[in-house]
Structure 1
Amino acid sequence: MPRNNSFFDDLRNEAITGVAYKNLSLKKQILIRFANTGNATIADLSKELNISTPKTAGLVTELLQDGLVKDYGKTESSIGRRPSLYGLNPHSVFFVGVEVKRFHVNIGLLDFKKNVVKISESIPYRLDNTPEAFRQLCDIIQDFIRILSIKKDKILGIGLNLSGRINSRTGYSYSYFHFGEEPLSNLLEKETGIPVFLENDSRAMAYGEFCHGAVRDEKHILFINMDYGIGMGIMVNGRLYYGRSGFAGELGHIPVFDNEIICHCGKKGCLETEASGEALIRIFLKRIRGGASSIAWKPGRKETAIQLEDIIRAAKQDDVLAIECIAEIGEKLGKGMATLINLYNPELVILGGSLSATGAYIQLPIITAVHKYSLSLVNNDTELKISQLGERAGVIGACLLVRDRLLGLL
């Protein structure tokens, strides 16, 4: 008997009920099992998911017809009739991830089995809260999709990361492109013709590292996004923590310092004012005015032309001033992180974002400050690592968040 609807039809049908809804849920369970554990036989699936063998076989057959599942051949068992192994078809569907930075965009494509198909990094872009910047961002996304070798209808969703206040449940961004009543995710979906999922950049980076990066068996993780600002992604028991309104993780706006520096949030004394990429640029320029020299600074250059990447590049070339300034903000950031370690007692803290590229130059002063200001009984159980994915963390995390939301993992 021919089927009326495919998995995708049912997935997009918000009014689905009854047997169709139950079958869709069971198919999601099968796909989740493949995604988390790998290939399996019908008997394995039936036992693990507590579904009858005939029912399991029927559901797998429909997923095969939809192209989501692939027959990987017979098992190596030599006893009796060898059953077939089934698993995800990596080329059945794809996901686009977009990481929007201050001065560039990273964008990539992942397949169903988390393989990176294509990534374009450091596409020139200036993040401004203007209609023109929004239009340019839409063009970048559409240009990337246009040159892909796959059909557009195989892209199941786009994940887009922005800094600031993001409500991923409603699709609203309250820091950028909040021009009217309509959610930003809806505006982007109208432009691209593909469902769009919005996420805070630090949380997406944390998820990327958890699924595909530095995390091994750890479940309680803090991801520190060290960029022009400071963000944090929190994972508790292997799940992202959002808080009541979806804004948890505003590490940069913890009032740590007694200073008169006004943060971009409008308040004084925030951790960001003395321990962020913006603070690093300010400290670096102050030292230059005081007579210090650096390969990142050429006489006659306008101060406004200095970017965070210039100082990072100089540190990688063993520039003394750049290293000293990075150590200064690292010590201050470590002091703020000591409070987090006392509060959360995490298994793992991952240092990510642009400044993580400086490696030990930022890591060592942070570790020193953490040990100085946090309780030894607590920090002894916390490992501190540099991001394994680097600039790709946000793109990969965005793709996987889309995939796992659609599968019902989140």
Structure 2
Amino acid sequence: MTASTKKYRQLRTDVIKHLYYGKMLTLAELSNLTHKSLPLITTMVNNLMADGYVLEYGLAPSTGGRRALTFLLNKEKQSYIIAVAMDQLVTQVVIYDLLNEVRIAAELFPFALNGDPTNTITLIEFLKNYIIRSGIPLEQILGLGIGMPGFVNAAEGVNHTFFKIEGQGNLKEHLTKELGLPVFIDNDSSLIALAELKFGMAKERKDVMVVNVGWGIGLGMIINGSLFRGHSGYAGEFSHIPLSQSNKLCACGKQGCLEVDTSLLVLVERAKLQIKNGMKSSLELSFLDESKLHGDHFLEAAKAGDPLAVSIMADAAFLIGKGLATLIHIINPELIVLGGRGAIAGKMMMAPIEQAIHEFCIPRLAEHTEIKVSALNTESALLGAATLVIENCNFN
């Protein structure tokens, strides 16, 4: 491949990526984003239109001069993305088009992750069946992105916690071979942060921490406008900061981890124990409904103002805020986003988190850090998985 061909292909990919994230852009905007000349971008967009990737959309809003044409990706190009969002109890999968519109309805698959070596086989069977039922040929699928909990090294394609592939290479390579299409994996909290960076409240921000409130407490870190992974790819293990005063043993094998007092699994068990001891709560009836996870019942009860759920959630949120105060001292972020499953009750968590930050954080730092609840809610995990595919694709 010649140097000029390589540059052409890279620019082609870059233009498609900017349109994917920006939705509708003018030639001038694409020129600024890619740092390429307007004539070169015009030629590239014309080529992409000829290939069916790009469409003229219409005129941009007037800025006082001649209105420019806008362009967007063609959702009828028949190029699709499979996004998979996993947590410790449930796996979601959906197929998007290039405009991130759902083309095949999302499915939920109850799938409790553990150390069972059959986890990988179960996941592959579920994904194969979903792809077959979709009716979409493999050649029309750009790739499959998976966000999963655990110690995930995205660059190496390994999950050291839940999916260990003995004698079969790494997980990414194994899934790619079994599914017959490109597969990319990453930590779930990192992808939730990536979704916020590209589509949510962290867009065009430089230094942001995205807290993934779920069955554990994850953290995605955006430093200088990019996802920060750390030296060996495992940055953001917020849930294992030693802030708990209890002697409970964490799943990691250590004591004192934040997670043992703040994960949804722990909060649900705490609510059940208090109900058993005579505390009145709407959760007493809600927990009888097995059509939803008890953690979801708990979050909905907290959002609705159930006194027991609010009290338990407030205690956990205060401890999360104490952990965030520590990180504010180290990173000095401009924004903290509360995301993940727990964003359902995010507004209720705001007061105790802010209280802890004001109590434990130097005011000069605290007053320069905003705290917001994600508007993407539970969709952030799927959007992040789709973004993972786009970030690793070559559109040639």
TM-based fold match above 0.5: yes
Q: In structure 2, do the counterparts of structure 1 residues 329 and 85 end up closer, same or farther at CA, with 3 Å as the change threshold? A: closer
- Secondary structure of 1:160's counterpart equals strand
Matches within 5 A, 1:9-408: 16-35=1-20, 38-41=24-27, 45=31, 49-51=35-37, 53=39, 59-72=44-57, 86-92=71-77, 93-148=79-134, 150-181=136-167, 182-297=169-284, 307-406=294-393
Q: What is the letter of the counterpart of residue 125 of structure 1?
A: F
Indicate how the Cα distance of structure 1 residues 84 and 125 shifts in structure 2: closer, same or farther if over 3 A, else same.
Answer: same
Answer yes or no: is the 8 Å Cα contact 1:104–1:123 preserved in 2: yes
SS at match of 2:253: coil
SS in 2 for 1:109: strand
Structure 1 position 213, deviation (Å)? 2.4
Deviation at 1:321, TM superposition (A): 1.4
C-alpha separation between the residues in 1 aligned to 2:71 and 2:323? 48
Q: Is the 8 A contact 2:143 2:182 kept in 1?
A: yes
The alpha-carbon distance between structure 1 residues 319 and 59, as it changes in their structure 2 partners (threshold 3 A), is closer
Q: What SS does the corresponding residue of 1:199 show, helix, strand or coil?
A: strand
- Residues 62-103 of structure 1, C-alpha deviation per residue, up to 9 Å, x if partnerless? 4334322334579999xxxx9976543233222111001222
Q: Deviations over 1:253-284 (max 9, x none)?
A: 11123431111100111111212223313432
Alignment RMSD: 3.3
- In the alignment, the residues of structure 2 paired with residue 266 and residue 76 of structure 1 have an alpha-carbon distance, to the nearest angstrom, of 57
Q: Between 143-152 and 89-98, report the one with greater CA deviation.
A: 143-152
3-state SS in 1 of match to 2:95: strand
Q: Which runs of 5+ in 1 are unaligned?
A: 1-15
| Between 33-42 and 120-129, the greater mean CA deviation after superposition | 33-42
Change beyond 3 A, Cα 1:361–1:122: farther
Calculate the TM-score normalised by the size of structure 2: 0.86
The one-letter code sitting in structure 2 at the alignment partner of 1:223 is: V
Map Cα deviations across residues 151-174 of structure 1 (whole Å, 9 max, x no partner).
432211111011110011111111
Whether the 8 Å contact between 2:27 and 2:42 is mirrored in structure 1 is no
Aligned length: 386
Check the 8 A contact 2:286/2:297 in 1, yes or no.
Answer: no
Sequence identity percentage: 29
Secondary structure of 1:209's counterpart equals helix
Q: Cα–Cα, structure 1 residues 254 and 43, in superposed 2: closer, same or farther, change >3 Å?
A: closer
Q: 1:323, CA displacement in angstroms?
A: 1.6
- 8 A Cα contact 1:108 1:396, kept in partner: no
CA drift of 1:106 comes to 1.6
Amino acid at match of 1:236: I
- Give the C-alpha shift of residue 134 in structure 1: 2.3
Conserved 8 A contact 1:96-1:155: yes
Displacement after TM superposition at 1:123 (Å):
3.0
CA contact (8 A) 2:82 2:95 kept: yes
Q: In structure 2, how many angstroms separate the alpha carbons of the residues matched to 1:240 and 1:84?
A: 32
* Separation in structure 2 between the aligned mates of residue 317 and residue 84 of structure 1, nearest angstrom: 47
1:153 partner letter: E
What CA distance in whole angstroms lies between the structure 2 residues aligned with 1:356 and 1:43? 33
For 2:393, what is the secondary structure of its paired residue?
helix
Note closer, same or farther for the CA distance 1:230–1:84 as it changes in structure 2 (3 Å cut). Answer: closer
TM superposition shift of 1:299: 12
- Please tell me the residue identity of whatever aligns with 2:162: Y
Structure 1 residue identity aligned to 2:10: S
Structure 1: how far apart are the matches of 2:70 and 2:359?
A: 53
1:178 Cα deviation after fit? 0.7
Q: CA deviation at 1:201?
A: 0.3
Q: Which has the larger radius of gyration?
A: 1
- Contact 1:39/1:88 (<8 A) preserved: no
In structure 2, the CA distance between the partners of 1:86 and 1:249, relative to structure 1 (3 Å rule), is same
Unaligned runs of 5+ in 2: none
